[in-house]
Chains A and B, each alone.
Chain A
């Protein structure tokens, strides 16, 4: 079945460091891919999305490119800030799967000054 495998954390970076969080997926058909961010005690907020191969989603300095050949959707940011400390979830949606979304296990990021 459809699934998402996400890089395990926690990840600790210094401010202004480069961030990569790996995400790979397994899906039938042509899924849409998403990154969500969760701050402590809150729900998930959509960070970015891509709906077809080679699309690049971007928001707030974060980017991810939908790579069909490697079934990947890695999240990157060139220079992280303390305010980026949160848990990041990779997610997949495919209409082949009964309108369900599949989430990775989440990667906790802590950015230290």
Chain B
């Protein structure tokens, strides 16, 4: 079945450490997105990519970095510069300019040790 796989499901970060969240899709979608969700809150866009080797900052990109070397993969690195990283991170994908919905992974919950 086609879908989006996020891993790991739970992740713990130590002070001063960078951690990378994985997102892989086999839907053949060109666009991929990373959102942050805090408890009881909506989604905030971190980064998005509409094509391989290109990506744009969203509303809260500070302290995060991404790469898009393959169409299927869009990993997110939470750097030590992100001082409040505890949140639920959601990856999504879609076909641009198609009016079709985004598809979401099951999320990664990141906590601070």
Count of chain A residues with Cβ under 8 Å from any Cβ of B? 24
| Count of chain B residues near A, Cβ 8 A | 26
A43-B90, A49-B101 as given contacts; A103 in contact with B43, CB under 8 Å: yes
Q: For the complex, what is the distance from the CA of A32 to the CA of B100, rounded to whole Å?
A: 8
Main secondary structure of the interface of A (DSSP, over half): strand
> Which residue of B33, B40, B42, B97 is within 8 Å of A104 (Cβ)?
B42
In the complex, the answer to whether A99 meets B90 with C-beta atoms within 8 Å is: no
**Chain A residues closer than 8 Å to B50, beta-carbon distance:** 99
Does B96 reach chain A (CB closer than 8 Å)?
yes
Query: From residue A104, how far is it (CB to closest CB) to chain B in Å?
Result: 6
Contact among B40, B41, B45, B105 with A43 in the assembled complex (CB-CB below 8 Å): B105
A10 closest partner in B (C-beta): B40
Q: What number of A-B contacts does a CB cutoff of 8 Å give? A: 57
Cβ contact within 8 Å between A41 and B101 = no
Which residues of A are found within 8 Å of B43, using beta-carbon distances? 44, 89, 103
**Chain B positions within 8 Å of A104 at CB level:** 42
Cross-chain contact of A45 among B31, B45, B97, B104 (Cβ < 8 A): B104
Complex contacts, A43 vs chain B, CB 8 Å: 4, 6, 90, 104-107
Q: What distance in Å separates the Cβ of B66 from its nearest Cβ neighbour in chain A?
A: 15
A111 CA / B41 CA spacing, docked (Å): 20
